[in-house]
Structure 1
């Protein structure tokens, strides 16, 4: 039995502690193993803390890593964002840990190096110190619990999200329902990019970009395909439910009580993840 396989058979420690303790990427060929919420990342690339059109935020979290495809995408998108009035580029939030995997806090996804959170705060300067990046906060775009955008929302926010959704590498973008409805109302011409923009809870301080699995990477699991259409009716239904919540469904008294979600262990992840942890 290899050392990596022995870890799988003997460790019951939550995987988030094992991956959260890794401070540097593995010395392996870049590969995304598993699914967005159950996997790991080999040979990760680090997004430089500062570039010509971006800054990585919350550096103390050590989550500015990703598959090389993600690093390339962030650089592309930040250059397009910098073309928008009032935007110097992008403030980039959480991506992945150095070896991916479950995180100690926060996200259930972001495990295979193909997810990135982009702040809604338009950068006016790209010379923030590490301490400033810890203290500054993004800004919320929502009002009425996410049914509508607020006065901080601008046409430039839509253009940045449109640029992200128009990138062939992107699988989905998650944003609060009110923003999707606003973009559905404002978009003209080719509206095909709207299909990738999906309403989801929260996501009003940032939008979440998810890339497709890299071409030819059999060990990476894409999500199911997005439903046909632009998704605007679905987003409107989310808004309707926010404004007029449906009555709660009565609970079956004979149904078993819901059980808390079990922590993922290394054995729950693809077998390649043990080697990712073992790699020097």
Structure 2
């Protein structure tokens, strides 16, 4: 394998989001389907993620209850606390591990909307009910509902030094390792400085760090992504992470200054239209 350097912006999007699935021929038939953010109920039927992480939807999603022993869901007013049943089960199990180890209360951020799909703000992915943001802050205690409508959580990274700050301690490192332990976790996105700290602090087997991928932002939360469930024939599988623990030259390339920009910046490409199967799903009665 050749030298791994920080990808260009288009390359980064492909690595994070995967390649959009091909559109079915009958897309126009459902072109007037409701926007997914207007829907308040999951689509009926067996659980099924459809399309890709950055261009898809989900049937049969479940809501993660907002106030359960061991975790709390934030920003419930957004209606982004829905996921495939495998994601719901994963979060409940992770919260149990965090509680048993005395690390604190797990604070859950955005998952997906009731039927998945593209969100107006905040994310390009989180569309199939298989992605979730988890805040690194574990010492918040049980917050009342009004206090959960927030995003002002402490960063774990000194942006100038490009290293973790004093907020990132053993509890946060342990959280990432626990989050990566489930076999159906395919990626965990964290700030490059956090990945570097994990690489430096791990004294045992570093194999689990293959799943932990550097990504700009993600300084106050980790983004966990589950693999396509078994038998999910309409779920587009993302390429696996590169071999190895990712603690070498691949990681260090994220700390190098980007190449100078020559010429005018390219205009951003509009997102692809949703798969026809998702438009049909949005058109089902709410």
- Per the TM superposition, whether the score is higher than 0.5 is yes
Is 2:258 the counterpart of 1:258?
A: no
Q: Alpha carbons of 1:11 and 1:275: their partners in 2 closer, same or farther (altered >3 Å)? A: closer
Shift of 1:12: 5.5
Deviations 1:215-259 (A, max 9, x none): 1111101211111110011222212x1xxx2440423x8xxx623
- The number of residue pairs the alignment matches comes to 261
1:108 alignment counterpart:
124
Q: Alpha carbons of 1:250 and 1:124: their partners in 2 closer, same or farther (altered >3 Å)? A: closer
After TM superposition, the score normalised by the length of structure 1 is 0.87
Deviations 1:152-206 (A, max 9, x none): 0101111110011121010000000011011101102221100000000100111
Work out whether residues 95 and 117 of structure 1, in 8 Å CA contact, stay in contact via their aligned partners in 2: yes
Query: Is there any run of 5+ residues in structure 2 with no aligned partner, and where?
Result: 1-23
SS of the aligned residue for 1:232 comes to: coil
1:276 aligned residue (262, 265, 281): 281
1:143 aligned residue (158, 166, 184): 158
1:36 aligned residue (31, 40, 53): 53
Taking the aligned partners of 2:162 and 2:116, their CA distance within structure 1 comes to: 33
Aligned 1:63-212 pairs, distance under 5 A: 63-85=80-102, 87-126=103-142, 128-135=143-150, 137-145=152-160, 147-212=162-227
How large is the RMSD of aligned CA atoms in angstroms?
2.2
